[in-house]
Chains A and B, each alone.
With several copies, the nearest count.
Chain A
């Protein structure tokens, strides 16, 4: 896929038995004894022991307010926090100073959107972030609400206009017409690095290059890309990249905004409070350089340590192997599902430039009902519009059922899914 750096090493199959043994939740049963078949990692991933242990170790050994105390625990907490920043930076090919810890991907997108409206009353160095009437923000129909609604709201606050790149019938970005959409009026392009519904992986670097030629900034939503592929910000092409730790084996409560250094340096603050200030007077305040400028409040140090452990876990598996494993599962699923009459895949029918989210509809069986039958068999999928309502509308469906894969899933689970779908079909056509 295009967001992956080239590599010579051939993919090594994941030892899923060994991997599964690391995830305590996978040994539980559900609904009257069925083994759990967790196919909802697109919503949130499960967490391995190693991550839970790393977070807990901070709480049990080194918990303190990082960057705030003069004592040993605070030093250790600061080391854990800044160490995690360095590890995450390495994971995406960034410098530590370009990694801002946020709460999640949602907050990271909002950070940029609000910083842009704050630019209106910030100093001249914030000039390039200002938007107003006549300016345009370009989103896509493929976006998760988290990378769409904040831009609608930015437009509402500033008078800018939202435009969007439409999708093709197989749930990819429609690339013809880009020249009319990306113009000198375009201030920012917001696009996903992987759709959470169709799995489509848009050509971020190409679109970013066009956007840059037009003078626009580019923010890529990496919530579904970073956990599953080797993403390197030096080749990705985007100026900003967001992600949520909880979708990549790590705890809730922490996410990342990557931003190119000179942009973060010029960008006005968003959330304000402690630890992001330089000098505070009642009359007004000045702010620290990035990344601190964007991180008010006591840091979530245990969760950062958990994220660091998750990066280590994924690195140990090898991101190329992770990708190959999911590609194998996706190919298997696409094939198995294609054989079910009445089933329509929303998204590309092959694994080229496509990640492991497989959404579908089924004639005569509503996604809620289908999900219910699967749940009864221990199979956890997601049903609904998956926070991508405009995409569903564009594909002419109201809702869908989504199976999404990760390192712990197996071909047998894909087969259980296919068998479950057939069972639902039988049940509702009876």
Chain B
């Protein structure tokens, strides 16, 4: 059975007990993203601290509705990115994207991606990649908006 390779224990754990869930104040940008195929949705807020490109991801909070993969993925992401410099976090995000597009060929760099390497199996199921990316794309969008805002204020 291939199911276990897709649904690793760590994914099911995050799915059942998501981290950082719930919308919190303060935040610099909020976005809503939806997966048009299934209607899965996420509302995600990003709070940055510090100046310009040196800013740090102070908080990621979210509310979401979706499958185990999309739920676990946003939870893992929040764990991973909170506290990182924006530039670093963007790089992690790019790496995760590359992992998702690897069609199972890539195992993921655990030092960089941490628990997110558990999603390597998803990349073999094209229909599920969007699920895994939903939260990440929302974060990228929200962060870009927050950075823009900070830039236009500064």
Chain B residue nearest in CB terms to A430: B12
Interface residues of B in 57-91 (CB under 8 A from A): 65-69
- B36 x A366 contact (CB < 8 A): no
Chain A residues whose C-beta falls within 8 Å of the C-beta of B6 in the assembled complex: 372
A392 CB to closest chain B CB (Å) equals: 7
- B34 x A383 contact (CB < 8 A): no
A344 CB to closest chain B CB (Å) equals: 17
Judge whether B7 is part of the interface by a CB distance below 8 angstroms.
Answer: yes
A197 CB to closest chain B CB (Å) equals: 13
- B2 x A366 contact (CB < 8 A): no
Q: What mask results when residues 355 to 370 of chain A are scored 1 for a CB within 8 Å of chain B, else 0? A: 0000000000011110
Give the complex CA separation of A373 and B4 in angstroms.
10
- B38 x A373 contact (CB < 8 A): no
- A384 x B126 contact (CB < 8 A): no
Judge whether B40 is part of the interface by a CB distance below 8 angstroms.
Answer: yes
- B7 x A384 contact (CB < 8 A): no
Judge whether B154 is part of the interface by a CB distance below 8 angstroms.
Answer: no
Chain A residues whose C-beta falls within 8 Å of the C-beta of B125 in the assembled complex: 75, 372
- A31 x B65 contact (CB < 8 A): no
Judge whether A32 is part of the interface by a CB distance below 8 angstroms.
Answer: yes
- B39 x A398 contact (CB < 8 A): yes
Interface size class of B (residues with CB under 8 A): 20 to 34
Judge whether B153 is part of the interface by a CB distance below 8 angstroms.
Answer: no
Chain B residue nearest in CB terms to A78: B126
Chain A residue nearest in CB terms to B2: A376
Give the complex CA separation of A390 and B107 in angstroms.
40
- B39 x A384 contact (CB < 8 A): yes
Judge whether A428 is part of the interface by a CB distance below 8 angstroms.
Answer: yes
Given contacts A74-B127, A372-B125, contact A367 B67 (CB under 8 A): yes
- B39 x A389 contact (CB < 8 A): yes
B150 CB to closest chain A CB (Å) equals: 26
Interface size on A, residues (CB 8 A): 30
Residue with the highest number of chain B CB atoms closer than 10 Å, among A67, A366, A398, A428: A366
Chain A residue nearest in CB terms to B126: A75
Chain B residues whose C-beta falls within 8 Å of the C-beta of A398 in the assembled complex: 38-41, 65
Q: What mask results when residues 12 to 39 of chain B are scored 1 for a CB within 8 Å of chain A, else 0? A: 1000000000000000000000101111
Given contacts A32-B2, A70-B127, A75-B126, contact A392 B67 (CB under 8 A): no
Give the complex CA separation of A78 and B127 in angstroms.
9
Give the complex CA separation of A372 and B2 in angstroms.
10
Given contacts A369-B67, A372-B128, contact A384 B37 (CB under 8 A): yes
- B126 x A376 contact (CB < 8 A): no
A371 CB to closest chain B CB (Å) equals: 9
Judge whether B131 is part of the interface by a CB distance below 8 angstroms.
Answer: yes
Judge whether A18 is part of the interface by a CB distance below 8 angstroms.
Answer: no
Chain A residues whose C-beta falls within 8 Å of the C-beta of B65 in the assembled complex: 398
Given contacts A376-B1, A427-B3, contact A383 B38 (CB under 8 A): yes
- A368 x B67 contact (CB < 8 A): yes
Chain A residues whose C-beta falls within 8 Å of the C-beta of B127 in the assembled complex: 69-70, 74-75, 78
- A372 x B126 contact (CB < 8 A): no
The residue from B1, B2, B3, B128 contacting A368, defined by CB atoms under 8 A apart: B128
Residue with the highest number of chain A CB atoms closer than 10 Å, among B39, B65, B127: B127
Give the complex CA separation of A75 and B1 in angstroms.
19
Chain B residue nearest in CB terms to A79: B126
A400 CB to closest chain B CB (Å) equals: 10
B residues sitting closer than 8 Å to A (CB atoms) are 1-3, 6-7, 12, 34, 36-41, 65-69, 125-128, 131
In the complex, the 9 A-B pairs of residues with the closest C-beta atoms, listed nearest first: A368-B67, A366-B67, A384-B38, A399-B38, A70-B127, A398-B39, A385-B39, A369-B68, A278-B36
Could you pull out 26 A-B pairs where Cβ atoms are within 8 angstroms?
A31-B2, A67-B37, A75-B126, A278-B34, A279-B36, A288-B36, A366-B66, A367-B67, A368-B40, A369-B7, A369-B67, A369-B68, A369-B69, A372-B6, A372-B128, A376-B1, A384-B37, A384-B38, A384-B39, A385-B38, A389-B39, A398-B41, A399-B38, A399-B39, A427-B3, A428-B12
